[in-house]
Chain A
């Protein structure tokens, strides 16, 4: 998990509340990503950013928002509009040089909304 931190590890919220998940990297990577993982499933891309102040929607962006004000940080807000927010959220980063897009992952945040 080196170089990428996600906090907190576990997060509990009441339905109807917005919640922001933190992701910080010290790898000097240009690109950062947010994924959602449901039990026994693969990763689904929520948002990604390749440069500061720019980001793109992934496959399941509805109900989520992001910002990229600093290269090191890419917080994800799960809004009350997200119908099934309980999931495991993974942040990743990758260097864009060489264009291999090898990704480095944080340890994840498990969000439970009741």
Chain B
């Protein structure tokens, strides 16, 4: 399968805590992307990490990539209620010409 698998499927935390979600995959990738989806809305691109990168930051987001373990993690620091959403990893495989999305992690941040 070219899809990523997110873990956990659902996560509930208190506002101010950090949230970590993981994505594991089985294929070789060119890059891995994280997207956010608010309920009933379209997805929004958050961050892209290329296969030759190990870590990227964007504001309160930190993404790591371990190609030897075929896994990535998304860390949201100092979470806010507005971070409540579903988060998806998407793989751009080597030799592919489109993205493959995982099933997502549903994050709930309790005020």
Contact = CB atoms under 8 A, between A and B. Distances in A.
A102 B88 contact: no
B104 A108 contact: no
Contact of A48 (B35, B44, B98, B101): B98
A33 interface: yes
A58 B101 contact: no
Contacts of B35: 103, 105
A43 interface: yes
B42 interface: yes
Contacts of A31: 98
A50 B3 CA distance: 21
A109 to B, nearest CB: 10
A108 B40 contact: yes
Given A90-B42, A108-B40, A33 B98 contact: yes
A102 B42 contact: no
Interface residues of B, number: 23
A71 to B, nearest CB: 17
Nearest to A104: B45
Among A4, A48, A100, residue most surrounded by chain B Cβ atoms (within 10 Å): A100
A35 B42 CA distance: 11
A17 to B, nearest CB: 24
B98 A102 contact: no
A28 B6 CA distance: 32
Contacts of B103: 41-42
Interface of A: 1, 4, 6, 31, 33, 35, 41-43, 45, 48, 50, 58, 88, 90, 92, 99-108, 110
